[in-house]
Amino acid sequence: DIVEEVVRIAGVDKVPLTPFDRGDAPRKPVLTTIQNRTRRARRALAARALAEAVTWSFVSKPEAELFGGGSAALMLANPIASDLGAMRPSILPNLIAALQRNADRGREDLALFEAGPDYQGDQPGDQRDIIAGARQIAPPRHWEKPGEADGVFIVKADALAALEAAGAPVSSLQATADAPSYFHPGRSGALRLGAKALAFF
């Protein structure tokens, strides 16, 4: 602050231009590979008309149990609210709740995504950084008006767009019908590269 005031009084035009010595070593990248992939996937989802949301990393215990969590190790000793007492095992309950709040206020065609952590256990390796998205697709109001494609294919296209932007070999992916149990049993799936599931839709 003192230097800034001295320069302001003396005059910026009197300060000589002196370049920094950058050395001979090549510059290191600022972002990691994961950060770059996440940034590209975020842009791809935004280009598909999904709005980015930022939600709490907490959910209620019943919601955590519905999405495969709710273990005692992930319950908070001093939650900020009674309905935010568990670390989230998935981002989906928060996105679904946000969609419902918007639908209650008349917005029926919203699409949201979030990039952030979910928690599978209380060990450092149990926290995953993932991207999750959710759409509320309003059905056509009249039988004569053509509707959009089935919702499952829209969200599958969202998942493929995010994976492609992140650098996954989408042409080598297989769609299988073994999504986690909290997905719809007949209208969901997984995108797999061999035995590894890269996305669920």
Q: What is the pLDDT of residues 62-114, one digit of tens each?
A: 999 999 999 999 999 999 998 999 999 999 999 999 999 999 998 878 999 99
Q: Are 133 and 50 in contact (CB under 8 A)?
A: yes
Q: What is the pLDDT of residues 151-193, one digit of tens each?
A: 788 999 999 999 999 999 999 999 999 999 999 888 899 999 9
Query: Which pLDDT score is estimated for 108?
Result: 79
Stronger pLDDT, 151 or 138, i.e. the higher one: 151
What are residue 172's DSSP bridge partners? none
Helix axes 151-165, 33-47, angle to 10 degrees: 140
Give the C-alpha separation, 174 to 28, whole Å.
Answer: 36
Report the percent of the chain where pLDDT is more than 90: 73
How many alpha carbons lie under 13 Å from residue 104 in its C-beta half-sphere?
6
Q: Over 80: is that where the pLDDT of 138 sits?
A: no
Which residue's entry shows tokens 């992939």?
A: 37
